[in-house]
């Protein structure tokens, strides 16, 4: 059976999104062109779908034959990955992963590492492809020293989509010094522990959309340096929540836009975290956030005690807009919906809170904390500088805080000592929204 894949649904052509992106994202050559040029089926390179034979050498051999124009094809089936693969120097290539790859090795590092590659796509045509990291085998022993599932370094004009990344021993997916990328229609399921980040981005011109993350650390997070990042239709389903940081010396982040973010039973809806340091964060827009049952809602903390202090007066935050937030926090008296705690040596400026309506699920009041932060809305003060500290107690629920929930909200976290099942890619990642691009499986014809 031959699959004919919709170019639109699979993002084969360059796509320009507005907002904070600076140009087109995604592969520059259609998938069909790559597949017609050459297809390297790993079964022809010695792979066996028996869940015990190491598929690593076959993937590497297939990559070497197809990395200059072609497709590495991993058909449906269960494969064991005992030796990690570093895929280097690709040009006009793709990895079509319709099978499930199970971690069998125990080394650290990266199970799949793609680097110095241009015009690249990694996806499942059936929307059933997955990598199962079985991280619980490390975590039940108290260890986070296992490998990441997927890392990309200096990859340009790329997309990753229609895949599930499950139970990574360490981080699930990181994009380091990449450019012009699109990530979408993904499900990430991790253990209930810190150190198991979902998606980390420190790159330029990246669009992340329609992604679900379950873990207890970063959901979709921007790190430094980063510029022109658009993140939308995100489902943080019992997670750590979305964030920026941790920020340290010479921070350089600008033009970041998050919108349509739904956060359930997580650490926070959005956090910007640092402790000392230097550099700048500017032009950040956080809009259309819905939250329920989270510890924190908006948490800007430049004295974050969970990281050691970095030399410097603090990271300068400027032009931060928070718009249209609704829902409830777990306990507003303990952790209020607004915390803007900026460094005395680098006060936050031009911060705007508007259409912000959050209320507590416990008790009858909530607190807002603002320190050294200037702008409008909430407990912020007008002006541009100087030190101050204020706490405002709010005893009346704001108008319009009621917000919908999602049917797939988890009733409990996945633990750290037992297997985590491979999920199905959701058909919605934010209340009332369908994915921006159709799932690949729905765009597939025989």
* 270-274 and 279-294 strand pairing: unpaired
Handedness of CA 102, 107, 109, 114 (dihedral sign): negative
Residue tagged 């050294």 (tokens): 372
Rounded Cα–Cα distance for residues 168 and 429 (Å): 21
- The DSSP-derived string for 367-436 is EEEEESEEEESTT-BSSS----EEEEEE-SPPTT------TT--SS---SSS--PPPPPPS-SBTTB--S
145-166 exposure pattern, b = at least 16 Cβ within 10 A, e = fewer: ebbbbbbbbebbbbbbbbbbbb
Residue tagged 């034979």 (tokens): 53
Structure tokens at 279: 């550099």
Rounded Cα–Cα distance for residues 78 and 80 (Å): 7
Q: Which of 98, 162, 167, 217 is catalytic?
A: 217
Q: Quick check: is 139 catalytic?
A: no
Q: Which of 292, 299, 301, 318 is catalytic?
A: 292
CA-based R_g, the chain, Å: 22
Q: Quick check: is 301 catalytic?
A: no
379-410 exposure pattern, b = at least 16 Cβ within 10 A, e = fewer: bbeeeeeeeeeeeeebeebeeebebeebeeee
Nearest CA-CA partner of 317 in 383, 372, 398? 372
Residue 330 phi, psi dihedral angles, 5° rounding: -65, -50
Rounded Cα–Cα distance for residues 119 and 14 (Å): 10
Task: Give Cβ neighbours of residue 394 (< 8 Å, ≥ 6 apart).
Answer: 332, 336, 365, 366, 367, 368
Structure tokens at 1: 């059976």
Rounded Cα–Cα distance for residues 176 and 150 (Å): 11
Helix, coil or strand: residue 161: strand
Active site residues: 217, 292
């Amino acid at each position: 059976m031959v699959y004919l894949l919709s170019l639109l649904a699979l993002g084969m052509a360059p796509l320009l999104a507005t907002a904070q992106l600076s140009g087109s994202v995604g592969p520059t050559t259609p998938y069909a062109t790559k597949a017609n040029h050459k297809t390297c089926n790993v079964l022809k390179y010695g792979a066996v779908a028996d869940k015990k034979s190491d598929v690593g050498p076959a993937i590497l051999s297939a990559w070497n034959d197809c990395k200059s124009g072609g497709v590495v094809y991993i058909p449906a089936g269960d494969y064991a990955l005992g030796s990690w693969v570093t895929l280097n120097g690709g040009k006009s290539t793709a990895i079509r992963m319709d099978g499930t790859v199970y971690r069998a090795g125990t080394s650290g590092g990266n199970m799949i590492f793609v680097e110095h590659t241009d015009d690249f796509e990694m996806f499942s045509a059936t929307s059933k492809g997955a990598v199962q990291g079985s991280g619980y085998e490390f975590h039940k022993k108290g260890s986070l020293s296992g490998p990441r599932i997927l890392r990309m370094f200096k990859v340009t004009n790329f997309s990753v989509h229609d895949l599930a990344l499950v139970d990574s021993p360490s981080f699930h997916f990181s994009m380091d010094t990449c450019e012009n990328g699109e990530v979408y229609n993904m499900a990430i399921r991790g253990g209930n522990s810190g150190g198991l980040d979902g998606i980390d981005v420190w790159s330029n011109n990246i669009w992340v959309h329609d992604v679900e993350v379950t873990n207890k650390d970063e959901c979709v997070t921007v790190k430094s340096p980063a510029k022109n990042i658009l993140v939308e239709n995100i489902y943080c389903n019992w997670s750590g929540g979305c964030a920026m940081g941790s920020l340290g010396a010479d921070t350089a982040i600008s033009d970041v836009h998050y919108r349509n973010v739904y956060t359930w039973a997580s650490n926070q809806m959005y956090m910007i975290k640092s402790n000392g340091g230097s550099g700048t964060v500017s032009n950040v827009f956080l809009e259309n956030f819905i939250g329920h049952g989270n510890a924190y809602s908006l948490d800007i903390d430049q004295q974050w005690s969970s990281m050691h202090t970095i030399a410097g007066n603090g990271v300068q935050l400027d032009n931060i807009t928070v718009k249209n937030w609704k829902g409830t926090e777990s306990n507003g008296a303990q952790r209020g919906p607004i915390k803007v705690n900026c460094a005395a040596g680098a006060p936050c400026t031009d911060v705007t809170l508007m259409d912000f309506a959050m209320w507590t699920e416990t008790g009858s009041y909530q607190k807002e904390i603002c320190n050294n932060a200037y702008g409008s809305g909430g407990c912020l003060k007008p002006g541009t500088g100087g030190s101050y500290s204020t706490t405002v107690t709010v005893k009346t629920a704001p108008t319009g805080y009621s917000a919908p929930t999602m049917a797939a909200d988890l009733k409990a976290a996945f633990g750290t000592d037992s297997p985590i099942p491979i999920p199905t890619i959701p058909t919605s990642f934010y209340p009332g929204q369908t994915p921006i691009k159709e799932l690949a499986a729905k765009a597939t014809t025989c």
